[in-house]
């Protein structure tokens, strides 16, 4: 299998023209061997680079066996909100479908809409999977872990087969501003336990910061946050102040050169 990894320019080279346009040159390929393409689509430039790579491969009549997408731009715009706004995810999905990969792997899609719109797609590497992996190692780490889900959407997305805590938040319907937070532990005993809040995405971190003091009221031994897609450095810094540990991935960007707080750990979805 031949690999083109756009994120680290393995198998290709990306240059930038004076007007800011990205231009991709693909290395010499063996047309008889299928190719796998790895990318993140965090902005329009990323999408355009993917389109260029696909154009080169398809014109050589090669098989794209797998398309791996670390981050999918527009995944939160997973429906038509009103007639005067675009269905952005569908626009991006149409471009991906035109590439014609035999299989599309998407890291932690925000909802099932991505898989419904993108042909032959599979959602992989969710925060729930990371959490289950952590549970398997918990005896070695002396952890007594309880999962926490931030809202009903996460409940339906992760479908955890173990006791968990559910949170809720209220927003101003006109401004979108967060107004209040609540926690429903039910019969789950959280005292002196390691609580781990799971979600797919951290942008500004407002939800997680707002939930932290409510979760502290349950008297846990520790409070951690585990999110797949971390978008803003300032958001990461905010949640790092509110949680004992923060776990993210490099799905959206590489974080090696950023001044991350010491209690932030980055899992690699791109090597």
The residue range of the domain holding 35 is: 2-124
Handedness of CA 242, 247, 253, 258 (dihedral sign): positive
Q: How far apart are CA 85 and CA 151, in angstroms?
A: 26
Q: Are 104 and 69 in contact (CB under 8 A)?
A: yes
Do 111 and 136 lie in a common domain? no
- pLDDT > 80? residue 34: yes
Q: Which residue has the higher pLDDT, 184 or 18?
A: 18
Beta strand 22-26 with 12-16: parallel, antiparallel or unpaired?
antiparallel
- Mean pLDDT in residue range 242-269: 93
Do 74 and 51 lie in a common domain? yes
- Mean pLDDT in residue range 194-216: 94
Do 228 and 194 lie in a common domain? yes
Burial (CB count <10 Å: 0-12, 13-18, 19+), residue 48: middle
Q: What angle do CA 77, 80, 81 make, to 5 degrees?
A: 85
Check which CATH number belongs to the domain holding 243 and give it: 3.40.50.2020
Last residue of a domain, one of 124, 154, 183: 124
- pLDDT > 80? residue 172: no
Last residue of a domain, one of 102, 124, 146: 124
Do 80 and 161 lie in a common domain? no
Q: What is the pLDDT of residue 132?
A: 66
Q: What is the pLDDT of residue 136?
A: 57
Do 114 and 140 lie in a common domain? no
Do 69 and 164 lie in a common domain? no
| Number of domains the chain contains | 2
Q: What is the pLDDT of residue 163?
A: 87
Do 243 and 179 lie in a common domain? yes
Bridge partner residues of 35 (DSSP):
2, 64
Q: Where does the pLDDT of residue 126 fall: very low under 50, low under 70, confident under 90, or very high at 90 and above?
A: confident
Q: Where does the pLDDT of residue 142 fall: very low under 50, low under 70, confident under 90, or very high at 90 and above?
A: low
pLDDT, tens digit, 9 for 90 and up, residues 223-242: 999 999 999 999 999 999 99
Q: Where does the pLDDT of residue 218 fall: very low under 50, low under 70, confident under 90, or very high at 90 and above?
A: very high
Do 88 and 135 lie in a common domain? no
The CA R_g of the chain, rounded to the nearest whole Å, is 20
Q: Are 226 and 195 in contact (CB under 8 A)?
A: no
- Mean pLDDT in residue range 201-219: 94
DSSP letters of 57-88?
Answer: HHHTT--EEEEEEEEETTTT--S---TTS--H
Q: Which residue has the higher pLDDT, 124 or 37?
A: 37
Do 25 and 115 lie in a common domain? yes
- Mean pLDDT in residue range 108-134: 81
- pLDDT > 90? residue 81: no
Do 132 and 7 lie in a common domain? no
Last residue of a domain, one of 124, 156, 176: 124
Do 119 and 73 lie in a common domain? yes
Q: How far apart are CA 34 and CA 61, in angstroms?
A: 10
The number of beta carbons lying within 10 Å of the beta carbon of residue 242 is 18
Phi, psi of 59 (to 5 degrees): -70, -25
Q: Are 64 and 57 in contact (CB under 8 A)?
A: yes
Beta-carbon contacts of 6 under 8 Å, excluding residues fewer than 6 positions away, are 12, 14, 24, 37, 38, 39, 40, 46, 49, 50, 53
- pLDDT > 60? residue 83: yes
Whole-number percent of the chain with pLDDT over 70:
94
Q: What is the pLDDT of residue 183?
A: 92
Do 101 and 133 lie in a common domain? no
Q: What is the pLDDT of residue 145?
A: 86
- pLDDT > 90? residue 214: yes
- Mean pLDDT in residue range 202-220: 94
Q: How far apart are CA 255 and CA 227, in angstroms?
A: 14
- Mean pLDDT in residue range 28-55: 97
- pLDDT > 90? residue 10: yes
User: Is this prediction's pTM over 0.85?
Assistant: yes
- Residue 27 belongs to what H/E stretch? none
Calculate helix-pair angle for 88-99, 44-59, nearest 10 degrees: 20
């Amino acid at each position: 299998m031949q690999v083109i990894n756009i994120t680290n320019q393995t198998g290709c080279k990306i240059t930038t023209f004076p007007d800011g346009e990205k231009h991709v040159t693909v290395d010499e390929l063996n047309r008889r061997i299928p190719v796998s393409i790895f990318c993140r689509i965090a902005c329009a430039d990323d999408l355009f680079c993917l389109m260029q790579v696909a154009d080169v491969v398809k014109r050589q009549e090669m098989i794209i066996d797998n398309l791996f997408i670390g981050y999918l731009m527009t995944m939160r715009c997973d429906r038509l909100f009103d007639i005067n706004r675009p269905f952005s995810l569908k626009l991006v999905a149409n471009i991906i479908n035109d590439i014609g990969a035999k299989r599309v792997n998407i890291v932690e899609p925000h909802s099932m809409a991505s898989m419904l719109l993108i042909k032959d797609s599979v959602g992989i590497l969710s925060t729930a999977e990371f959490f289950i992996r952590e549970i398997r190692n918990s005896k070695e780490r002396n952890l007594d872990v309880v999962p926490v889900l931030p809202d009903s959407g996460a409940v339906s997305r992760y479908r955890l087969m173990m006791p968990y805590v559910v949170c809720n938040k209220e927003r101003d319907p006109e401004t979108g501003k967060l107004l209040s937070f609540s926690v429903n532990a039910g019969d789950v005993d959280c005292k002196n336990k390691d609580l781990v809040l799971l979600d797919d995405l951290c942008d500004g971190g407002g939800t997680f910061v707002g939930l932290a003091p409510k979760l502290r009221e349950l008297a846990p031994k520790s409070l951690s946050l585990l999110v797949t897609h971390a978008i803003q450095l300032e958001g990461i810094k905010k949640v790092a102040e509110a949680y004992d540990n923060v776990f993210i991935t490099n799905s959206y960007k590489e974080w090696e050169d950023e001044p991350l707080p010491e209690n932030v750990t980055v899992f690699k979805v791109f090597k």
